[in-house]
Amino acid sequence: MTQVDFYILADPSTRSRMHFACRIADKAWRLGNSVFIHTGSAEQTHELDKLLWTFQQNSFVPHASCEEDTAAEAPVLLSHRLEPDASRQVLINLAADVPLFFSRFERVAELVNQDPAIRQQGRSRYSFYKQRGYELKTHEIPA
């Protein structure tokens, strides 16, 4: 069964969620996992694409948008509208809703910050998983 982890960020900024998504993607990739980051919009996909190049000095996370021709080869994929192939292990969800394809993954990372709208969306996703019997883990991330 898919393991679902909720990361509760103390920082309320949108940038904190994006930066933390980069950190999780970097760690998962370095551990040998393939990653799919599900974003909420084309703008968020584009912003995350840029941030994965620069979020950490002297670091690069090999990634591609699902719309690119080389996407299948990238260990980290980004999209707001396309579904990944079944071979990915880690899903990082930045969208408001639970993606319908979440159960294909070994692990799901849900990122919630202190923004009231994001917190409410996170509560809804938490309830969704809980009602379906998924074991949920919560991690408090200080600022």
pLDDT, tens digit only, all 143 positions of the chain: 999 999 999 998 888 999 999 999 999 999 999 999 999 999 999 999 999 988 888 778 999 888 766 666 789 999 998 888 778 999 999 999 999 999 999 999 999 999 999 999 999 999 999 999 999 999 999 98
Domain boundaries, the chain: 3-141
Query: Three-state DSSP class for 46?
Result: helix
Q: In this structure, what are the phi and psi dihedrals at residue 108, rounded to the nearest 5 degrees?
A: -125, 130
Second-level CATH architecture of 3-141:
3-Layer(aba) Sandwich (3.40)
Residue 56, number of CB atoms within 10 A of its CB? 14
Task: For residue 88, give the H/E element and its range.
Answer: none
Residue carrying the six token digits 């899903």: 91
pTM of the entire structure?
A: 0.94
Contact partners, residue 43, CB within 8 Å, separation at least 6: none
Span between the terminal Cα atoms of the chain, in Å: 31
